[in-house]
Structure 1
Amino acid sequence: MKAPLALALLVCLLGSISLADEGSTNKRAEQLFKKLDTNGDGGISLEEYGASMFGGYVSPKQVAKIFKQKDQDGDGKLSLAELMADGKKKDGKKSKMN
């Protein structure tokens, strides 16, 4: 399995795992976050997200939609919490993927 596809599957898995086992889940999420944050600035940009997560399997337009959904504060970078979140805005409603 190609590494980008494996990372994408891991993110999907992390997003669906209950945090009942917070310690190991958080550790795996932090490791994934560090791999995706290739420039080490503490946030995952759209470019880092697209290049690392989908490796050509998803169109750039779709990657941008997914990124926008996950970027809950709209700052153009994903935090660890946003990467793990299920796409719900702070009000609990699903964000729209225009």
Structure 2
Amino acid sequence: MKIEIQGQDAVAATEEILAIEGVEGSYETLDEVEREGTLATIATIVGIVGGSMAIAEKLYQLNQKCQKSLLENKTPRIEKVMIVADNGKRLLLKDATVEQIKEILED
């Protein structure tokens, strides 16, 4: 599974995701997207240990924090977070529910 994050604080958000207990993986920064202060990272999740519901809730909370910061024009500045499952299914976190996040984590 891969998670793509775009925004000024993409690296910090990616590191926060990879620090979630039960998530194992790594990430890379995409240099070609660096423009006007926007970064993009691709996190590759190689393993999810434990309950996918707990991880889904943490991803949902992180997304809510990012959406709130955009509305208030504060940091962290994250413009887009997308989960891409190994089967090609995609989920944009902007309007996703905890249940939708859990479902794609389990795919």
Q: TM-score, normalised by structure 1?
A: 0.33
Determine which structure has the larger helix proportion and give its number: 1
Determine which structure has the larger strand proportion and give its number: 2
Q: TM-score, normalised by structure 2?
A: 0.31
